[in-house]
């Protein structure tokens, strides 16, 4: 028994040197033990961001600074199933380049960013690596093992060599076609017209064009990773560019992406009403994440909605909600005109800030809620001239009065609004 345990331990150490299925450029080599995934960075970096999506839909995100090797440890009671990881690089960028980036951002000068990229001072693209692993019985499945193709179900007669069949004319099959080492005599096709049947199924489009100007990119339809611990998924792969632009993992719900006959896209629905329609049982939202792979500061925003509010969430800033709209808010609660005028309660703002109402309760209220009692400046008016003109209406009766004098604060005295300097004379 001791020898068996020792042999198993040696096997685990040998397996740990094998790599998980990886998509994209090799940012880091991946090693595993039954309880953790370790990454050995192959590029220089300021920070590495590791994101892992679990089978239950939870997303774990961790950041590692320069010198720290990313690692993902399995927690106790971890769920079995397929996990997907993504490793993003925040490159090391010279402080002067950062200043140039900030200046380009403020001025909207995209050509300056392109020049920095061409000079090699800024990465031309983001360094990101993605892959997957499988947990079974609370431990990571040994990666790197590959299934060998099954032996053909029917072998050639003894003494007769197998040969490729070459047909120099059109080939028509008036029936169904099965391709693969696991196809059998009297295959039951059902409604299948073409069936790929073996343990590694791929359809590759190998374009042999050589003439100048002719496209020659190779593509591939891939069903599932071929290595143990890989993902059960369907992908469209750019073979020539070594990229995987499209992937659907097993278990994705019905109508995850649905395009109707008019080109409208439904996310979670087969009946999209607008060009993009997202449906979810709790708080449908989208995430806008700027990574720091291009030299700019990382920033993440969420835009979402539910029965309580429509909101913009500053995820990077502690998930604050700087902007919210409650259900039932009236039309033009906030309305910005083409001239930049802001209307509150009006769609035709005539000044930079125009507040209007019709139920007799319209007013402006400025409140400082600090618990410390102190005199404070709650409003300030500045005019690049001699006077500030304020139109104030008596609280009792009378026409509008125009005050033309240096202005500080108006206070109510005997039913009238007067400058605070004149209060003693009232």
E strands in 24-58: 28-33, 36-41, 47-53
| Of 201 and 115, the one with more pLDDT | 201
Rounded to whole angstroms, what are the CA distances from 181 to 163, 196, 198, 233, 325?
A: 15, 9, 6, 21, 60
| Over residues 239-244, mean pLDDT | 93
pLDDT score of 402 more than 70: no
Q: Both 415 and 317 in a single domain?
A: no
Residue 125: pLDDT band with limits 50, 70, 90: confident
Instruction: Give the domain-ending residue among 334, 355, 376.
Output: 355
List all residues 6 or more positions away from 25 whose beta carbon is below 8 Å from its beta carbon. 127, 128, 129, 242
State the chain's mean pLDDT as an integer. 82
Q: Identify the sign of the CA torsion 131, 136, 137, 141.
A: negative
pLDDT score of 319 more than 90: yes
Q: How far apart are CA 84 and CA 54, in angstroms?
A: 7
pLDDT for residue 190: 94
| Of 393 and 317, the one with more pLDDT | 317
Query: Which residues, in sequence order, are bridge partners of residue 267?
Result: 278
Per-residue pLDDT reduced to its tens digit, 51-95:
998 888 888 989 998 888 899 998 888 889 888 898 988 888 888
Per-residue pLDDT reduced to its tens digit, 138-196:
888 876 666 666 665 555 556 666 778 899 999 999 999 999 999 999 999 999 999 99
Instruction: Give the domain-ending residue among 140, 169, 202.
Output: 140
Cβ-in-10-Å burial (0-12, 13-18, 19+) of 180 comes to: middle
Per-residue pLDDT reduced to its tens digit, 203-219:
999 999 998 889 999 99
pLDDT for residue 3: 45
Instruction: Give the domain-ending residue among 140, 175, 190.
Output: 140
Scanning the structure block, which residue is given the tokens 């099954």?
150
What percentage of residues in the chain have a pLDDT greater than 70? 80
Q: Both 416 and 311 in a single domain?
A: no
Q: How far apart are CA 224 and CA 201, in angstroms?
A: 8
Q: Both 19 and 91 in a single domain?
A: yes
Rounded to whole angstroms, what are the CA distances from 189 to 17, 177, 393?
A: 42, 8, 86
123, 91 contact by CB (below 8 A): yes
DSSP state at residue 422: G
Rounded to whole angstroms, what are the CA distances from 95 to 90, 99, 101?
A: 14, 6, 10
Residue 366 counted as domain residue: no
Q: Both 337 and 397 in a single domain?
A: no
Residue 395 counted as domain residue: yes
What's the domain range around 331?
Answer: 307-355
Q: Both 104 and 49 in a single domain?
A: yes
SS3 13: helix
Residue 376: pLDDT band with limits 50, 70, 90: confident
Residue 337 counted as domain residue: yes
Residue 135 counted as domain residue: yes
One DSSP character per residue, 228-292 reads TT---EEEEEETTTTEEEEEEETTPPTTSSEE-TTS-EEES-SS-SSSEEE--SS--EEEEEE-G
pLDDT score of 11 more than 70: no
What radius of gyration do the chain's Cα atoms show? 33
Residue 261 counted as domain residue: no
pLDDT for residue 13: 37
Which region among 79-88, 108-117, 184-193, 401-410 has the lowest average model confidence (pLDDT)?
Answer: 401-410
Per-residue pLDDT reduced to its tens digit, 269-289:
999 999 999 999 889 999 999
Return contacts of 356-364, CB within 8 angstroms, 24+ apart: none
pLDDT for residue 398: 39
Q: CATH number for the domain including 49?
A: 2.60.40.10
Residue 74 counted as domain residue: yes
Residue 42: pLDDT band with limits 50, 70, 90: confident
Q: Both 100 and 6 in a single domain?
A: yes
Q: Both 108 and 18 in a single domain?
A: yes
Q: Residue 85: which of 110, 61, 112 has the closest Cα?
A: 61
Residue 28 counted as domain residue: yes
pLDDT for residue 229: 84
Q: Both 350 and 396 in a single domain?
A: no
Q: How far apart are CA 67 and CA 84, in angstroms?
A: 24
Half-sphere exposure of 93 (CA within 13 A, CB side): 25
Q: Both 103 and 19 in a single domain?
A: yes
Q: Both 64 and 129 in a single domain?
A: yes
Residue 187 counted as domain residue: no
Q: Both 61 and 15 in a single domain?
A: yes
Q: How many domains does the chain have?
A: 3
pLDDT for residue 8: 43
User: Structure pTM?
Assistant: 0.74
Q: Both 337 and 392 in a single domain?
A: no
Q: Residue 299: which of 283, 313, 311 has the closest Cα?
A: 313
pLDDT score of 20 more than 70: no
């Amino acid at each position: 028994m001791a020898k068996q345990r020792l042999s198993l331990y040696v096997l685990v150490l040998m397996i740990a040197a094998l790599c998980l299925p990886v998509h994209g450029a090799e940012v880091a080599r991946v090693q595993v033990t039954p309880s953790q995934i370790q990454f050995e960075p192959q590029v220089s970096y300021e920070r590495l961001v590791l994101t892992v999506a679990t089978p239950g839909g939870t997303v774990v995100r961790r950041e590692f600074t320069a010198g720290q090797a990313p690692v993902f440890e399995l927690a106790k009671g971890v769920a079995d199933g397929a996990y997907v990881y993504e490793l993003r690089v925040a490159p090391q960028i010279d402080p002067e380049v950062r200043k140039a980036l900030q200046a380009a951002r403020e001025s909207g000068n995209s050509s300056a960013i392109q020049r920095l990229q061409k000079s090699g001072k800024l990465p031309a693209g983001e360094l990101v690596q993605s892959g997957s692993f499988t947990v079974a019985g609370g431990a990571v499945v040994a990666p790197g093992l590959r299934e060998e193709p099954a032996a053909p179900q029917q072998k050639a007669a003894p003494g007769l060599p197998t040969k490729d069949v070459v047909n120099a004319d059109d080939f028509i099959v008036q029936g169904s076609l099965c391709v693969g080492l696991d196809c059998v005599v009297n295959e039951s096709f059902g409604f299948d017209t073409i069936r790929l049947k073996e343990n590694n199924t791929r359809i590759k489009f190998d374009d042999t064009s050589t003439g100048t100007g002719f496209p020659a990119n190779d593509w591939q339809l891939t069903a599932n990773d071929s290595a143990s611990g890989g993902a059960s998924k369907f992908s469209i792969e750019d073979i020539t560019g070594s990229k995987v632009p499209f992937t659907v993992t097993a278990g994705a719900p019905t109508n995850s992406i649905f395009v109707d006959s008019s080109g409208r896209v439904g996310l979670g629905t087969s009946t999209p009403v607008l060009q993009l329609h997202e449906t979810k049982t709790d708080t449908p939202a989208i995430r806008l994440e700027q990574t720091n792979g291009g030299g700019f500061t990382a920033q993440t925003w969420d835009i979402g909605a539910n029965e309580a509010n429509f909101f913009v969430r500053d995820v990077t800033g502690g998930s604050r909600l700087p902007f919210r709209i409650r259900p039932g808010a009236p039309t033009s609660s906030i309305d910005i005109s083409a001239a930049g005028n802001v209307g509150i309660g009006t769609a035709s703002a005539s000044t930079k800030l125009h507040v209007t109402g019709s139920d007799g309760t319209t007013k402006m209220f400025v409140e400082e809620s600090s618990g410390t009692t102190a005199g404070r400046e709650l409003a300030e008016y500045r005019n690049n001239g001699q006077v500030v003109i304020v139109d104030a209406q008596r609280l009792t009766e009378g026409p509008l009065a125009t005050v033309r004098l240096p202005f500080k604060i108006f206070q109510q005295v005997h039913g009238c609004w007067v400058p605070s300097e004149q209060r003693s004379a009232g």
